[in-house]
Structure 1
Amino acid sequence: MKRAITALVGLGVWVSFGADTMASTEGSATSGNGVQQRLMDGNTRYAGACLSHPNQTEQRRTELAQGQHPFAAIVSCADSRVPPEILFDQGLGDLFVIRLAGNIMDDAALASLEYAVDHLGVRYIMILGHERCGAVEATIQGGETPGHIGSLIKAIQPAVDNAKNQPGDPLDNAVRANVAMVVQQVKSSPPILEELAKKGDLTVLGARYDLDDGRVTILP
């Protein structure tokens, strides 16, 4: 027991000192319009089959062994076809990625974002939905759901309701509405994310990935 407590104390010291130090030294590198341009340039390479595979060397791995300095956080669906590091042609330590089916937001995801922002200095968060999302489609279809899937449906249902009776494709409308809902959930999450977003020190926006052509589009 004493050994476990000592380990936890050591972890606490690392989080409060080491991570805060990273935030103070790396924060400026994770802010500004250049972040979005870097992501979209990478997606252009991916969609055009001209991947550069940056930061995937042994040297990069060694550099990151004692700490990470991601320049953006991506909240995306758990769908195996939507891996952010590949879609944006990024490498080790570049992106802080949170993946949940339907790119939903829960307490664990919010805590992860707070860590990225408060300790790692991330100032750009993208909520990435995608074409023909199975979680959103299941919510539209309704019916009985096994196991814990019902909690997923419950999280997405408000977005599906908001998208009803809109012109266009019902599924794609719901995907977009779900992204917009999660963006607002992140922006309004007190105290860390909400405060920074209100001051204009944190960018939180939505995007949609097209499974057919591989392109990411920033949503209004």
Structure 2
Amino acid sequence: MTTLAQIVQANREFVKEFAGQHLYETGHAISKFPNRHLAIFTCMDTRLVDFLEPAMGIKRGEVKIIKNAGNTITDPFASSIRSLLVAIFELGVKEIMVIGHLDCGMSHSNAEDLTKKMLMRGISADAIKMVEEELKIWLDHFHDPVENVKATVYKIRSNPLIPKDVPVHGLIFNPDNGVIEIIEDGYQLIERCS
């Protein structure tokens, strides 16, 4: 059975529970507005799925979660920043947490190796040339998850489109035991900048 078929089968079993009822009738409906007014920008690592949120005491409907490889921002108007802008200005987010994690695969990646793998899979050299510099900026500067969190907090905090009254915190998560440590306290950052 293909992965797609497995997902569709699991979905059919899941929705049988509601037997045609609207989610509002079952008590499972959740607002699109995060009731904790919090956005989390984190990594797409599989070890964080169903682990990071419970480790933080977060439930469905409480936060906006934005993910990408290595929770990195390479451009002041990248999609992650655009998502944060929508979260702040349209969905009521008042606080941001950047959460990196130990043993991040991005710290072992580099542009040269990724380029070789892309070429081996049939991606044309001309197509790669279009993103070559971006790959170097993105992959070749990520060596330490803690330093990456600090850099990402700085990029969000200093972005002219992010309101100065929005605290941007930096945390590091251990995917082996669920421990979270504070790297940057956004409240203190606001005080220092005021």
Shorter-chain TM range is 0.5 to 0.7
Q: Which residue of 2 aligns with 1:124?
A: 95
Aligned residue in 2 for 1:97 = 65
Residue 77 (str. 1) matches residue 43 (str. 2)? yes
Q: 1:133: which partner in 2? A: 104
TM-score, normalised to structure 2, is 0.63
Q: Separation in 2 of the partners of 1:156 and 1:137?
A: 9
Q: Is the 8 A contact 1:70 1:120 kept in 2?
A: no
What is the RMSD computed on CA atoms of the aligned residues? 2.5
Judging changes above 3 Å, is the alpha-carbon distance between structure 1 residues 77 and 183 closer, same or farther for their aligned structure 2 residues? Answer: same
**Take 2:79 and 2:91, find their aligned partners in 1: how far apart are those partners?**
17
Aligned to 1:36: none
- When the two structures are aligned, how many residues end up with a matched partner? 140
For residue 185 of structure 1, what is the aligned residue in structure 2? 155
The percent identity for this pair of structures is: 26
1:18-97 aligned at under 5 Å gives the runs 58-59=26-27, 61-64=28-31, 67-71=32-36, 72-83=38-49, 84-97=52-65
Unmatched runs of 5 consecutive residues or more in structure 1: 1-57, 161-173
Deviates more, 1:82-91 or 1:113-122: 82-91
Structure ranking higher in helix proportion: 1
Residue number among 132, 140, 147 corresponding to 1:157 in the alignment:
140
Paired letter, 2:148: N
Measure how far apart 1:69 and its partner are: 2.8
Structure 2: gaps (5+ residues): 1-25, 119-127, 185-194
Alpha-carbon distance in 1 for matches of 2:139, 2:86: 24
2:33·2:92 contact (CA, 8 Å) conserved in 1?
no
Q: Note closer, same or farther for the CA distance 1:133–1:153 as it changes in structure 2 (3 Å cut).
A: farther
TM-score w.r.t. the length of structure 1 is 0.56
1:156: Cα distance to partner?
4.5
Q: Aligned in 2, Cα 1:206/1:62: closer, same or farther, shift over 3 Å?
A: same
Aligned partners of 1:159 and 1:181 also within 8 Å:
no
For 1:179-218, list aligned pairs within 5 A: 179-191=149-161, 193=162, 196-197=163-164, 201-218=165-182
CA distance in 2, matches of 1:78, 1:180: 18
Question: What is the deviation of 1:158?
Answer: 3.3
Separation in structure 2 between the aligned mates of residue 116 and residue 127 of structure 1, nearest angstrom: 14
